[in-house]
Amino acid sequence: MKVVKFGGSSLASGAQVEKVYHIIAADPERKIVVVSAPGKRYSDDIKVTDLLIGCAEKYLKGQDAHQLVEAILSRYESIAQELHLSNEVIRKISDDLLTLLSGDKSNPASFIEAVKASGEDNNAKLIAAALKHKGLDAHYVSPKEAGLLVSNDPGNARVLSQSYERLYELRNRPGITVFPGFFGYNTNGDVVTFSRSGSDITGSILANGVKAELYENFTDVDAVHAVNPNIVHHPKEIRELTYREMRELSYGGFSVFHDEALIPAFRAGIPVNVKNTNNPEAPGTRIVSARKNTDGPVVGIASDDKFCSIYVGKYLMNREIGFGRKILLILEEFGLSFEHIPSGIDDMTVIVRQNQMEEKVEKKIMQRIMADLDADEVRVEHDLALIMLVGEGMRQKVGTMARASRALADAKINIEMINQGSSETSMMFSVKEAVERKAVQALYHEFFAEVRV
Amino acid sequence: MKVVKFGGSSLASGAQVEKVYHIIAADPERKIVVVSAPGKRYSDDIKVTDLLIGCAEKYLKGQDAHQLVEAILSRYESIAQELHLSNEVIRKISDDLLTLLSGDKSNPASFIEAVKASGEDNNAKLIAAALKHKGLDAHYVSPKEAGLLVSNDPGNARVLSQSYERLYELRNRPGITVFPGFFGYNTNGDVVTFSRSGSDITGSILANGVKAELYENFTDVDAVHAVNPNIVHHPKEIRELTYREMRELSYGGFSVFHDEALIPAFRAGIPVNVKNTNNPEAPGTRIVSARKNTDGPVVGIASDDKFCSIYVGKYLMNREIGFGRKILLILEEFGLSFEHIPSGIDDMTVIVRQNQMEEKVEKKIMQRIMADLDADEVRVEHDLALIMLVGEGMRQKVGTMARASRALADAKINIEMINQGSSETSMMFSVKEAVERKAVQALYHEFFAEVRV
């Protein structure tokens, strides 16, 4: 049994859904289908989820939203028309959406959650109808009915472990189950969504729940690339990488596959195959527990910007037990999570994502550290990029750091920071944002020279 | 006015004290002399301080200690005899020591502190008498009389800031002040010692207190070497380095100058000159606020062993605000201070000095981290060495990391960890203890090739 997930662009039009049908029909093991909401048909298009968020906000403010509602429904309608579906499913979707929008708004956050999630939910109904119309024995199943329980963190839900046992029952359903991605239900029965692009997470949870042999994740690229194609033209495609490598790459700015979505599949040891709806013949990228290292120490290079560093210096800091902990406590009180903590003898630097710190907060944090810890110096540096070299083979291979740092030096790039050693599959370099592209290109050239364009 | 400090080996015998006399007599600015207790005369010799500790412990247990007392007094006596001093000072030292040993033992820790410190205290009396005998106007001054107040941390005292104003009065004393190193008094009037080799600290505090133009630190080497001479034969001597560079080098295993002793001199901007009692003509090493970089990015390479790393892995650790802080809190509860905290996405490693963790403590810490933080994996790796490349010029110079990591790679040395970026004057590498020497030699060869032996 395979769990197959289709992203928004794979479901944006009737023509796309046609491709989805052929993919599902081609393999009887593809028994569980997880769908996103209809995505963009062209680059200026608006995703249904974004329309829904706008719509929910207007409803909450008591503003007229009929144009948005029409825009949303017309997306489903145009797909249904393209595929010559009966009106029945569109009527159902329309009724469900209008009922939802005119329903209880006493908890605005909860209302927005439910409206947001309806994009996937209604699309699952539509896709089930489309597959049925094409002759497949497909059925919509709601996450509530299936027992997908999640924590009550709107926009950031986590699956509750008791879900897995219930989800196992999906195995016993006849035909093809079409399941909406992106959300589950809290123990009160309210909709709670995962983070954006969370349909990947649903697919992974279901793959774990039913103990699938494979989790196929269909998107609109042939494979995961070794580096961001906006930085290096036509980069190498990755055939196979480990869960750990994929997790490090997605953390470092790779958006092909959702950062957290790997965990449930990893826990159950289920391989993930990232494939292209528009080119299903391409082998795609397989994410597995272990792989043979045949092609160099580095499998991919990820980079992300908008980091900043908080430097704290104090003489004899090293002798003060608890100093580091107190800095982290202050950040925690301001709700900040940190990325890395390089340290010297008498100083410590905490790297955080810049979007967590408004100017005011930054000032307050600096004052608190200065006052509470009697620091000699506190300063914040902005506009840093983090670059991750990722590969299981790096640790065994002496000389990877030498190659990487030589490549950066030859490109005249100053390394602001290096963090290497805790993770066995990555090395982190920090450089100024202004030289991020140049740095990634230099590293790519060093480790993937033979395929350089 | 200069403050001059002489270490234990510079005061181990009458012949050595003769040299000390000539050094002091050669420069009328050498008005304040800080002395250690008599050190080793030959490599198997026992330092007076160690004899005193043994003696105090025997007294506390009510055991016979007369042999130790005799051994201690005979050290002072032999110096006095060599220099033909009158018996008066030896009688005074003998009386003071015996009074101390037969005194109040209600607080054993306090008793040990006072006995330990008597090594320096009595030696200051002896040296004052010796200098007087030679015709200099020298006077013993006790830290109590001078107002050297310290925190009540036995064996780890810190100077209290109010001391400085009082110590300034030492400027107004006639002649040469001979001052015992290693200890001060808490606000209750009890002796409290600095950490071992703390006479360097006393000298630095006095230099700050009297606003000396120079702090001369006389020891038994011509200069600070760029690397440990036990690892590289005849290494380069360092002529000049900054406080910061010296602090990083002493932290990383350089024992020439006490780790903390720089701070008071640094705060007052007083240059420190490390010189050789046995070769006072040699220029020694000057430690200053700023220096011109003329001789490459690296000024010295330090290394130290007996570190271990505590690795903690947990999926999605990155999303848990407070995770890092909680690990540090657990270590703090066990009284551990940490050195570095390299991190990955889902893991964090804390490097600590191994001597802080007995096997039992290690087990308990691992259990606590596992239980309190619900970690997926906790493991401890032992026998790590840290190597510090130190130099103010490193940050400006692109390519230092490339050279260092290439040198290690060519020597087939695997880098366990790199921490670079918080301190602007050092880069930290961690390697297995077994390859520490080889790694240091490789780095020395890379950065100091022209002087290789």
User: What are the pLDDT digits (tens) for B340-372?
Assistant: 888 888 889 999 999 988 889 999 999 999 999
pLDDT value for B453? 39
Mark yes or no for CB contact A342/B248 under 8 Å: no
Across residues A386-400, what is the average pLDDT? 86
Closest partner residue to B345 (CB to CB) among A247, A408, A413 is A247
Nearest to B421 among A319, A342, A401 (CB): A342
Asked if B421 lies within 8 A of A418 by C-beta distance, the reply is: yes
d(CA A289, CA A297): 17
Please name the residues between 59 and 98 in chain A that touch chain B, using a CB distance below 8 Å: none
Structure confidence at residue A451 as a pLDDT band (50, 70, 90)? very low
Residue B451 confidence (pLDDT): 46
- Residue A452 in this model has a pLDDT that exceeds 50: no
Distance from CA of B407 to the nearest CA of A (A): 8
> Position of tokens 């590289």?
B232
Assess whether pLDDT exceeds 90 at residue B178: yes
A318 CB neighbours in chain B (<8 A) are 251, 337, 339
> Is the reported ipTM for this assembly greater than 0.90?
no
Measured CA to CA, the distance from residue A327 to residue A176 in angstroms comes to: 53
Residue type, position A280, single letter:
P
A 10 A CB-CB count for B437 gives 16
Measured CA to CA, the distance from residue B430 to residue B432 in angstroms comes to 7
Mark yes or no for CB contact A398/B420 under 8 Å. no
Q: To the nearest whole number, what is the mean pLDDT of chain A?
A: 92
Is the minimum CB–CB distance between A328 and chain B shorter than 8 Å?
yes
Q: Do A401 and B409 lie within an 8 Å CB cutoff?
A: yes
Hey, what domains does chain B have and what are their CATH numbers? 2-220 (3.40.1160.10), 300-451 (3.30.2130.10)
Asked if B285 is an interface residue toward chain A (Cβ–Cβ < 8 A), one would say no
The share of chain A scoring above pLDDT 70, in percent, equals 96
A324:B341 CB<8 A: yes
Cβ of B248 and A337 within 8 Å? no
Q: What is the DSSP letter of A414?
A: P
- Chain B's closest residue to A416, CA to CA, is B421
Amino acid at A296: G
Closest by alpha carbon to A186, among A113, A245, A243, A83? A113
Q: Using H for helix, E for strand and C for coil, what is the string for B369-384?
A: HHHHHCCCEEEEEEEE
Q: Token pair of B280, please?
A: 């006072």
B412: contact with A, CB 8 A cutoff: yes
- In angstroms, how far apart are the furthest CA atoms of chain A? 76
Whole-angstrom distance, CA of residue A151 vs CA of residue A160: 6
pLDDT tens-digit profile of B100-114?
999 999 999 999 999
Euclidean distance between CA atoms B397 and A94, whole angstroms? 65
> In the predicted model, is pLDDT for residue A221 greater than 60?
yes
Q: Does B419 touch chain A (CB under 8 A)?
A: yes
In this predicted structure, what is the pLDDT of residue B94? 96
pLDDT for residue A25 is more than 90:
yes
Nearest to A417 by CA among A336, A331, A311: A311
Of the two residues A259 and A222, the one the predictor is more confident about is: A222
A414 to chain B, minimum CA–CA distance in Å? 5
pTM of the model: 0.81
Interface check A435 vs B, CB under 8 A:
no
Q: Is B387 exposed, middle or buried (0-12, 13-18, 19+ CB in 10 A)?
A: buried
Sole residue written with tokens 């998107």: A219
Residues of A in contact with B247 (CB under 8 A): 345-346
Of B401, B422, B425, the CB nearest to A405: B401
B277-319 confidence digits (pLDDT tens): 999 999 999 999 888 766 678 999 999 999 999 999 887 777 6
Per-residue pLDDT at A395 exceeds 90: no
* Binary contact (B422, A348; C-beta < 8 A): yes
Least confident stretch, A204-208, B196-200, B360-364, B404-408: B196-200
Share of chain A above pLDDT 90, in %: 76
Q: Which residue has the higher pLDDT, B322 or B212?
A: B212
